């Protein structure tokens, strides 16, 4: 089986063949740290986190890079409004970004290069472009000369004449062509600056991503990803800069996720339907938010509205219940026992066959351009069966071994989907279980010694910590409130 993905560059699904066999260089455009990021930007962070973890699961050695744009017009504007240095704004929202992606269950990238820490590298790129005639200097600014790159617009497929005629291109008299873009911007009064061969100034955003990608992943990388809104001009310009410098293909596969709409309207701050990921994380659990993104194919639009959100909440709950049912059922069971088919009824045999079959179906869905909705459908069919078996009154050791295999598969999937809370607030669940069991045993002992006051105290204090004790003739069990 081979993995296929949709390549924006060729506008078709292609078999994934990395530049270097077995290795994947993966770049995702990171945030501009001038504010808390909005829920629309959480989408690429979550879906591409799942994809790179999935690639690792499929045996590739993945190096994942995400840049942090810590100098930019928006940061400067915010800093001037508040009367603080721009690096303070950048630091504050860089910290917030890390907090929020951690809460979203996103695994850290291998490198988070910052623009301000790579000024020399960016100047080096611009110098090379000036030297080979693809960039020109005007009054402290350096522009990229789009007419020098014959393949300009190959990613977006845009028609250059139409673009030039379009009103959306702001005309700047100093540029030779309205499509030419700034590689280096001269510092205006009150703006932060760095020394360069063209005077004091700062780098353009597009130059930053070309440099970070090539520096940390090489001149030709496998996957460069981002939101669909980055295709033009950002990614188009990255290609123009990088390929004009190296003469080599910059990126083999371009991947773009669809928009997130709020109640059908494209989400943007200017429309005042802004909702930060931070706001959303206060109202919804991490698994629910991840399920919400994964229930839709990453390339399609997604609507951020109450109905799909409630559906995601219920779905995440279902997954959690199924997982915990398995976990409890397999408590104190030796799970290393291998399945002995001879000891299974034919019904149990077909359940035993379901695990490898589901694994296969899941991989087939994910290998088809990361079709997460289909992969999730495989998961739901699977947990319907695991629930049925885990709820049985009695299970033979051979059947328990089948159930243990089923739980392993859920763990396997969850290792990159991150849709089941297998740990309580970042703490190892087994340890939490162990600690609460000590308290339950002490309560039991207190009651046996007729010290009911202490027994009640333990119950009361555990409840305050969100732990509910359920007593039954078989003993005491606990659950989260
Ligand atoms: Zn970028």
252: tokens are 């083999």
pTM of the model as a whole: 0.86
Q: How far is the CA of 221 from the centre of ligand 1 (A)?
A: 14
Report whether pLDDT(420) > 60: yes
Phi, psi of 106 (to 5 degrees): -85, 130
Banded model confidence at residue 33, pLDDT cuts 50, 70, 90: very high
Q: How far is the CA of 234 from the centre of ligand 1 (A)?
A: 7
137: left (phi over 0), alpha (psi -120 to 50) or beta: beta
Distances (CA, A) of 336 to 57, 333, 397, 415, 440: 22, 9, 11, 20, 28
Q: What is the mean pLDDT of residues 338-356?
A: 92
Q: How far is the CA of 93 from the centre of ligand 1 (A)?
A: 18
Residue 457 has a CB neighbour count (10 Å cut-off) of 13
Mean pLDDT of the chain: 92
Q: How far is the CA of 29 from the centre of ligand 1 (A)?
A: 4
pLDDT in tens, 167-209: 455 567 788 888 999 999 999 998 999 999 999 999 999 999 9
Characterize 239-267 residue by residue with b for buried, 16 or more Cβ atoms within 10 angstroms of its Cβ, and e for exposed.
bbbbbbbeeeebbbbbbbbbbbbbeeeeb
Sequence length of the chain is: 481
Q: What is the mean pLDDT of residues 280-293?
A: 94
Residues 414, 377: Cα–Cα separation, whole Å: 14
Banded model confidence at residue 225, pLDDT cuts 50, 70, 90: very high
Q: How far is the CA of 4 from the centre of ligand 1 (A)?
A: 24
pLDDT score of 209: 97
Burial class (CB within 10 angstroms; exposed 0-12, middle 13-18, buried 19+) of 117: exposed
pLDDT score of 408: 95
pLDDT score of 437: 84
pLDDT score of 306: 82
Report whether pLDDT(322) > 80: yes
Residues 228, 12: Cα–Cα separation, whole Å: 15
Banded model confidence at residue 126, pLDDT cuts 50, 70, 90: very high
Phi, psi of 471 (to 5 degrees): -90, 140
Residue among 389, 223, 365, 228 at smallest CA distance from 300: 228
- Helix 86-103 and helix 73-82: axis angle, to 10°? 110
**What percent of the chain clears pLDDT 90, i.e. is strictly above it?**
78
Residue among 366, 365, 349, 361 at smallest CA distance from 405: 349
pLDDT score of 338: 78
Q: How far is the CA of 230 from the centre of ligand 1 (A)?
A: 8
- For residues 372 and 294, the answer to whether their CB atoms sit within 8 Å is yes
pLDDT score of 162: 80
Q: How far is the CA of 181 from the centre of ligand 1 (A)?
A: 15
Worst-scoring range by mean pLDDT, 46-50, 420-424, 425-429?
425-429
Residues 11, 156: Cα–Cα separation, whole Å: 10
Report whether pLDDT(446) > 50: yes
Banded model confidence at residue 270, pLDDT cuts 50, 70, 90: very low
Q: How far is the CA of 30 from the centre of ligand 1 (A)?
A: 7
Banded model confidence at residue 307, pLDDT cuts 50, 70, 90: confident
pLDDT score of 389: 96
Q: Diameter of the chain by CA atoms?
A: 90
Q: How far is the CA of 241 from the centre of ligand 1 (A)?
A: 12
Report whether pLDDT(300) > 80: yes
Banded model confidence at residue 330, pLDDT cuts 50, 70, 90: very high
Q: How far is the CA of 206 from the centre of ligand 1 (A)?
A: 6
User: Of 292 and 429, which is predicted with more confidence?
Assistant: 292
Could you tell me the sign of the dihedral formed by the alpha carbons of 415, 419, 424, 427, in that order? positive
Q: How far is the CA of 117 from the centre of ligand 1 (A)?
A: 16
- For residues 412 and 402, the answer to whether their CB atoms sit within 8 Å is no
Rg for the chain, CA atoms, rounded:
27
pLDDT in tens, 41-79: 999 999 999 999 999 999 999 999 999 999 999 999 999
153: left (phi over 0), alpha (psi -120 to 50) or beta: left
pLDDT score of 197: 97
Q: How far is the CA of 32 from the centre of ligand 1 (A)?
A: 10
Characterize 198-227 residue by residue with b for buried, 16 or more Cβ atoms within 10 angstroms of its Cβ, and e for exposed.
beebbbbbbbbbbbbbbbbbbbbbbbbbbb
Residues 205, 207: Cα–Cα separation, whole Å: 6
Q: How far is the CA of 238 from the centre of ligand 1 (A)?
A: 8
Q: How far is the CA of 403 from the centre of ligand 1 (A)?
A: 45
276: tokens are 């930060």
Q: How far is the CA of 449 from the centre of ligand 1 (A)?
A: 67
Q: Residue for token digits 């001879």?
A: 342
């Amino acid at each position: 089986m081979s993995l296929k993905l949709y390549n924006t560059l060729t506008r078709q699904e292609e078999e994934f063949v990395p530049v270097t066999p077995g290795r994947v260089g993966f770049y995702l455009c990171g945030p501009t740290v001038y504010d808390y990021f909005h829920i629309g930007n959480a989408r690429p962070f979550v879906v591409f986190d799942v994809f790179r973890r999935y690639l690792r699961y499929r045996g590739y050695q993945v190096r994942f890079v995400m840049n942090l744009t810590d100098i930019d017009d928006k940061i400067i504007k915010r800093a001037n409004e508040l009367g603080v240095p721009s690096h303070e704004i950048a630091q504050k929202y860089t910290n917030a970004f890390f907090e929020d992606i951690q809460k979203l269950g996103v695994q850290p990238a291998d490198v988070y290069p910052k623009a301000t820490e790579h000024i020399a590298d960016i100047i080096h790129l611009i110098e090379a472009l000036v030297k080979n005639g693809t960039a020109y200097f005007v009054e402290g600014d350096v522009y990229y000369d789009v007419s020098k790159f014959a393949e300009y617009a190959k990613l977006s497929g845009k028609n250059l004449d139409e673009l030039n005629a379009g009103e959306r291109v702001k005309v700047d008299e100093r540029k030779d062509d309205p499509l030419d873009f700034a590689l280096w911007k001269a510092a205006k009064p009150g703006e932060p600056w760095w020394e360069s061969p063209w005077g004091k100034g700062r780098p353009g955003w597009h130059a930053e991503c070309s440099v970070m990608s090539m520096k940390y992943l090489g001149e030709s990388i496998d996957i460069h990803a981002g939101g669909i809104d980055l295709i033009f001009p950002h990614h188009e310009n990255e290609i123009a800069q990088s390929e004009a410098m190296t003469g080599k293909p910059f990126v083999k596969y371009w991947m773009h996720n669809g928009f997130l709409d709020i109640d059908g309207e494209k989400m943007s701050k200017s429309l005042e339907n802004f909702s930060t990921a931070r706001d959303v994380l206060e109202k919804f659990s991490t698994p629910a938010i991840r399920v919400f993104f994964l229930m839709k194919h990453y390339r399609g639009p997604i609507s951020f509205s109450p109905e799909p959100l409630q559906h995601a909440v219920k779905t995440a709950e279902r997954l959690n219940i199924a997982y915990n049912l398995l976990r409890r059922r397999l408590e104190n069971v030796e799970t290393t026992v291998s399945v002995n088919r001879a000891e299974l009824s034919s019904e149990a045999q077909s359940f035993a066959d379901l695990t490898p079959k589901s694994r296969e179906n899941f991989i087939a869905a994910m290998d088809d351009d990361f079709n997460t909705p289909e992969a999730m459908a495989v998961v739901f069919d699977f947990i319907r069966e695991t629930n049925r078996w885990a709820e049985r009154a009695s299970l033979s050791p051979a059947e328990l071994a089948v159930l243990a295999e089923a739980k392993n598969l859920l763990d396997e999937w969850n290792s990159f989907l991150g849709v089941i809370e297998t740990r309580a607030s970042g703490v190892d669940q087994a340890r939490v279980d162990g600690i609460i069991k000590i308290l339950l045993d002490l309560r039991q002992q207190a009651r046996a010694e007729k010290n009911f006051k202490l027994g009640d105290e333990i119950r009361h204090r555990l409840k305050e910590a969100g732990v509910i004790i359920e007593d039954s003739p078989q003993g005491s069990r606990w659950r989260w409130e």
